[in-house]
Structure 1
């Protein structure tokens, strides 16, 4: 090659558009695939043989298996996810209530409080330092 190479000329805007579109659709497809597989494992209403059949369908014939699963059981996927989120929120609230933390405390705050309690128990920090750090985390 004797002259300069113009990359924009070699890769037109429409080609870039199709590439971005393909990457976006492929990403959405994999997200849907993983959500379906996770839903199969989390669904407690199905027995083992049913789960195995759905997994075989989804993994051997991915497009057809996922679309059939979404058509057959897709409406309940959202309900199961909402129920799971509610259960996790209740468990987090119960955990916060057991530790005496305020209701707005996040799991990260609870972890930090546990680490502080460990430090205090091992004598690495004083009572005043513990109280100050605990106050800072809770407020």
Structure 2
């Protein structure tokens, strides 16, 4: 029974090591293609080394370029956050249906649009299909 238990523990250890390596490998490959300063030949060379000497190359890459990986990741996260904030600000700044109807009513009162156009704008503001 104990022999089988330790085999399971050993299997779990190697499964954890393999999954950890795959996470590191995908992070390295993602970083290679995200890096705009590294030219294509260097990227190809890193990939070739990752294929033929995977563990050693991954370790060397993380030691040599780890700081740059962190900086690129941080920059991308900040850029994504800025885009999300801009989208939220833009969406929040859009007018409500009541505001759209009030503007259309002003245009109708000024004679800029007809009653039919006002009805169409009102239906659009309320989300009705026409």
Q: Give the TM-score normalised by the residue count of structure 1.
A: 0.63
Please say which structure displays the higher CA radius of gyration: 2
1:46 maps onto 2:74 in alignment: no
Q: Deviations over 1:79-115 (max 9, x none)?
A: 21111100100011111122226xxxxxxxxxxxxxx
Q: Tell me the number of residue pairs that the alignment of Structure 1 and Structure 2 aligns.
A: 99
Q: Give the TM-score normalised by the residue count of structure 2.
A: 0.67
Q: Deviations over 1:36-90 (max 9, x none)?
A: 0000000111111111111111123211221111121112211211111001000
1:64 maps onto 2:56 in alignment: yes
Select the residue among 24, 28, 32 that pairs with 1:32: 24
Q: Equivalent residue of 1:46, what SS?
A: coil
In the alignment, structure 2 segments of 5+ residues that lack a partner are 94-123
**CA–CA separation in structure 2 for the residues paired with 1:122 and 1:11:** 70
Structure with greater proportional helix content: 2
Distance 1:63 1:121, change over 3 A: farther
RMSD between aligned residues? 2.3
In the alignment, structure 1 segments of 5+ residues that lack a partner are 1-8, 102-116, 124-139
